[in-house]
Structure formats: C-alpha cells, structure tokens
Amino acid sequence: MKLPELLAPVGSAEHLKLTILSGANSIYLSGENFGARKFAENFTVPEIREAVKYAHLHNVKVYVTVNILIKEGELEKVSNYLLELYKIGVDAVLIQDVGLVKIINENIPKLHIHASTQMNLHNIEGIKWASEHNIKRVVLPRETEMNELKEIIDYAHSLGIEIEIFAHGALCYSYSGHCLLSSMQGGRSGNRGTCAQPCREKYELNINKGKKINPKNEGDYLLSPRDLSLFEHLDEIASLEVDSIKIEGRMRSNDYVATVVKNYRKRLNKLRYDKTSKELNRNIKELERKSKGKKGRSTDLKKAQDKENIAKLKEEQKLQNLESLEELELVFNREFTTGHLIPKNNPMIMNRKKPGHQGLYIGKIHRYNPQTEEIHILLKENLIHIPEKGDGILIETNPNLELDNNQNNAENSSKENKRSKTKQDKRAKRKEKRVRKEISQKNQNNQGNQNNGFIQTYGFDISSKPVLKDSKDKHWRKREKDKDIEGKLLVIKRVRENRRINFPLPKGSKVYLTKKNSLLNEVKDLHHKKENHYIKKSLLELYFRIDSDNYPHLKGNLKLDNGKVITLKVKGENPWEEAIKKPISNETIKKQLLKIGDLPYYIEKIT
C-alpha cells in the first residue's frame, strides 16, 4: 500500500522540531508576509533558510505558503521574495493568486507550485487548468466528497499532478477561499491572512418580524463548525492513493502539533506494517462487498448478520485506535466530524453549543458529597486516559439537572450556618441566590431546553491523588451505597476558586479531561529521546586520510532521501604526531568516528 505523505503545520521554530521528531514527512510554514496566518509566529527569510537546512537534514520537505491575494503594489516585493525562496531551496510554494502562477512560470520555472485550497480548484476542469499552468500539486477544498475525490485523483495522476487533502483541524463555515464575512464585518479579510473567525461568535436567527428561533435548540453559536478528523478513515484515504494528507494548526500549541502528528504517524505506519490491522480491514471490506451483492427476501437474514459482523469488526478496530483517539480529543477538539468527505459516518458538521476546546469526555457525576467535597464520577466505558493528580478537569452543569437530597440538605444547612457569620458572607450568599434565580428564570423562558446556552462550566486542576473504584470489586460494592452502578468510579476532591460561592454539582453533569500532564511531559521529552524511529536517517560515507603534509583530512558525503548529496571536507588544525610507544590502529580511528550520538544520519562506510 502506498501511504500518503504526512504534512504538518509549523507556526514557530519549536513547531518545526516537534513535527519532525513526531514523524512528519513534510512541513508547511509561512514567512512574515503573504501567508494566510498573519498572526502566527511565522519566519523571517534567514529563519526559513535555517528551517530548510534542518528539515532537509532530517529528510523532511518544506513548503512555504504564499497563499493570499496580492495587491498590485506588492508585486515587486512578492516576486523578490519568491526568488529568495527558490535560492534557499524550498521544495514548493503554496499559491492562491493566479497572477503569481504566471510570475513564477515566466521567471522561476523550476520553483514547484502547489495550488492552495484557497485557489478553489475543486473539479476535473480545475485539475486540467492546473496541468496547463505547470502546477505540481492541488490542495482540494474541505468540501470535496468521496465520490468526487476518487475521480479527481485518477484524472490528476494521469496528468502527473499530486492531490492533497485536509485530514485534521478546523473547518470553515464558508466554501474554501470564498468567505467574505470577516472582511465585511470587521475589515479583516481571510483572503489576506487576517480572518477574525466571526463564525465562532454568538448569533441570533430572526424571522417573522424579529422572532428569534434556535435551530434544533442546539445553542447560540450558529455558524461554528466542529473540527475535522479523518483519523479513523486513513485506510480508505490511502486506498484512493491520495498523495498527501494535511494537518491544520499553525496557530495551535506545541502539544497539539506534536500529539496529532505522532498519532497520525503511528496510524499510517500501522496500515503498512501491522498484519492484524490489515486483516481486520480486509475482513470488513469483504463482508461489505458480499453484503452489497445479496438480493431477495431469502438473504435478508444473512445481510443482517453481515451488518452485525461488520459493526463488531469496526468496534474492534476502534478499540485498537482508542488511545490515539482520546489523545486527539485531549489536545484540542470542538467535537470531531468527518465533514463532507464521509458524511454518512457523521452527518453532524456543526457544534453550535461551544466554539472552543471542550476536552475529552470521561463520564458523568454520579454523586457529590458536600461535607467531604468528594466528587464521584462514573467513568465512560473503555476509558484509557484516567485523570491523575495535577490533570485538568472541566465540569459542565445544566440548570435542569436536579441536585440530590444530600446536596440540597447540605446546602440548606450551609445557608443556615452562614447567616450567623460576617456581613461579607451574607452579601456573597445573596449574590449566589440572585445568580441562581436568574439562571432558573432563563431556563423556564427557554422551555426546559438543556442546550440553551445557559450551561455552566466549572474547571480546576486535581490537587490530590484520585481514588479509582471498580464495580467488579466485591469488597467495594459491599461498602458502596449505590450498588446498582456498573463500571468504574473515580473519586476526586473538589477545588474551589472562590469558597464563598457554592457552585452546584448535580448528578448527571458531564465531566471532561482538559489537561493530561503525562501527555504534556511526553511532548517535552521528545527532544531528549535517544531512539526515534520516526526520523528517516540519511547515509553518511566518511573518508579519512593523512596527507604528505602530515595533517589529518576527513571528507564526508551525506546522501539525503531526496537524492541530494552534501559533501564536506575538514582539515585538522594540528599535524599528525608520530607515536612514541603504541601507534593508533585503523580500528580505533573507526571506533571514534562512529560516535555520532543522536545525529540524523548513520555511517554507511568508513575508508
């Protein structure tokens, strides 16, 4: 199976190192100007030069984004910039403006052009145009569907053009490259690299003389899409012979970039080397093929059995990838979707409830003890990343959820005790009562809708070691009051930012893991990892000799994966001294030259 190139985002120098160490085949970055992420850290021309050297040494390609619309007064500046990129040796530039395509073809014809998704080449005619204008690769819009993708790939390959698609990251509400909302609303154009993301704001939908309606009562962020993730469908994508899959996120954190690249690398490698994974895929495809061919009433039962078997196999496949899926959710997600490419798998593209990171869903509150301030969380099935001390927790409560009797009684008792305390405590109590009353009124006005925008969130870092209990433990069940529960229960101590405000924690409140220290430490340790199987090392030939001038000479030929050979010659600063007792042997010289540590190459031969 031909695996697609894994293309990773780089918005800073630290991103560059982490993506390479995590297994990227290629990276894309931007200079200080002419890129679609103007507010990323980005790179100066000297920094791009160093980035290319570092990446090429690790056999990683570098693509530079010049993917905004160019103004007439910028033509000379951008032309000089493109020439500088060519001299540096970048592997390609991503272009949106068709005028730049003409400039490159006429003046720098050897500079490879990739058509940015912003260019909006989305069909056979677009691919034909690209071929006529010396474009080597087309980045298809995120709106491309699976049946279109196969047809476009076949046609593009017949013309010698590569196809790249987005596999992971943010989705745009509009059609790629066509959004004018940010420009019209605040003067910040997405086609000039300054999108203000107005799609992540709250909106009201008004009809019939201003009557407000909420589509499906999902929330107030009406234009906010989920995040794209094709992680579970990489086998399908690889089978279509997609040339490159792109991860979005030049403005994301170091942890996001490293974790997403690492898990996509692991999954792609698994497709190539893991026999179990390959066998599972073959069984699923074979059952699906046979099931489609069955007709008539007599085969209905058999088709149903096939569907059941397919579901079981897919569930087994999902469990194999569960750790990776949890890590992807942990570092950033607005809930995942397979988008337009595989709509039948997940028809939901929008997340109108919340526009930002929500973390990994781990379970619901089963019980809260206000006296001990212990929160009992019933964990979801098969959870791998169980919270530990120092990890971050986010609790999402809803005014519709009722407090249990113990919590209500404790709160009432707490109110009676606090009335006898200072005036400051009384004011805090009245404020709390007023806030709860407002929430209750809003809740009634919205007719009991649980996703009406008044959901409260309460987050904190776990300050003490949690206690994990399992319902299968007979000794624990004898001590536990709630004998009807099945699964694992995690008991953590509540941490209050403000002890005067008693934030309610009703049963059924959703709990999310938003920070996992072990995952953060893994990213930090990447720099110190002695063995990294994700780095493709180059071959190094060394030639050592002593000339007639009695000086040592060392010559090295470094053979990169792209076919280039880097030759370096070094002459010793001091002449070779004649041995008084024991002369140095060839074996000793070779042994010393082999000490190269964790450098990104290995010595093929020494002569």
Question: Using one digit for the tens of pLDDT, what is the confidence trace for 550-588?
Answer: 888 778 787 777 777 878 888 888 887 777 778 887 788
- Tell me how far the alpha carbon of residue 477 is from its chain's centroid: 40
Encode pLDDT of 14-42 as tens digits: 999 999 999 999 999 999 888 777 777 88
Domains and CATH numbers, the chain: 5-182+227-274 (3.20.20.70), 279-337 (no CATH), 360-520 (no CATH), 538-606 (no CATH)
Backbone angles phi, psi at 578, to 5 degrees: -75, 135
Q: For 392-396, what is the mean pLDDT?
A: 93
User: What is the distance between the alpha carbons of residues 578 and 314, in angstroms, rounded to a whole number?
Assistant: 71
- For the record, the structure tokens of 292 come out as 């489609």
Helices (H) and strands (E) in the chain, counts: 17, 23
Q: Which residue has the higher pLDDT, 343 or 474?
A: 343
User: What is the distance between the alpha carbons of residues 488 and 472, in angstroms, rounded to a whole number?
Assistant: 9
- Provide DSSP, 24-68: -SEEEEEBSSS-S-TTS--B-HHHHHHHHHHHHHTT-EEEEEE-S
Q: Which residue has the higher pLDDT, 220 or 437?
A: 220
User: What is the distance between the alpha carbons of residues 450 and 398, in angstroms, rounded to a whole number?
Assistant: 7
Q: Residue 182 has what pLDDT?
A: 84
Torsion angle defined by CA atoms of residues 571, 574, 580 and 586, in that order, rounded to the nearest 10 degrees: -20
- Tell me how far the alpha carbon of residue 32 is from its chain's centroid: 24
Radius of gyration over every alpha carbon of the chain, rounded to an integer in angstroms: 30
Distances from the Cα of 26 to the Cα of 22, 23, 221, 504, angstroms? 11, 9, 35, 49
Is the pLDDT at 201 greater than 50? The verdict is yes
User: What is the distance between the alpha carbons of residues 440 and 561, in angstroms, rounded to a whole number?
Assistant: 64
User: What is the distance between the alpha carbons of residues 366 and 359, in angstroms, rounded to a whole number?
Assistant: 20
What's the mean per-residue pLDDT of the chain?
Answer: 82
The residue written with tokens 């599972």 in the block is 280
Backbone angles phi, psi at 246, to 5 degrees: -110, 135
User: What is the distance between the alpha carbons of residues 172 and 223, in angstroms, rounded to a whole number?
Assistant: 9
Q: Which of 338, 336, 168 is nearest to 261 (CA)?
A: 168
In 344-422, which residue ranges form alpha helices assigned H by DSSP? 405-418
User: What is the distance between the alpha carbons of residues 91 and 108, in angstroms, rounded to a whole number?
Assistant: 13
Q: How far apart are the first and last CA of the chain?
A: 38
Encode pLDDT of 420-459 as tens digits: 455 555 665 565 555 555 545 544 444 333 344 457 888 8
Q: Residue 46 has what pLDDT?
A: 96
For the purposes of burial, counting CB atoms within 10 Å of the CB of 346, is it exposed (0-12), middle (13-18) or buried (19 or more)? Answer: middle
Q: Residue 431 has what pLDDT?
A: 55
Q: Which residues contact 227 (CB under 8 A, 6 or more apart)?
A: 168, 169, 170, 171, 332, 333, 334, 335, 336, 337
The residue written with tokens 């980035």 in the block is 51
- For the record, the structure tokens of 77 come out as 């500046």
Split at pLDDT 50, 70, 90, the class of 76 is: very high
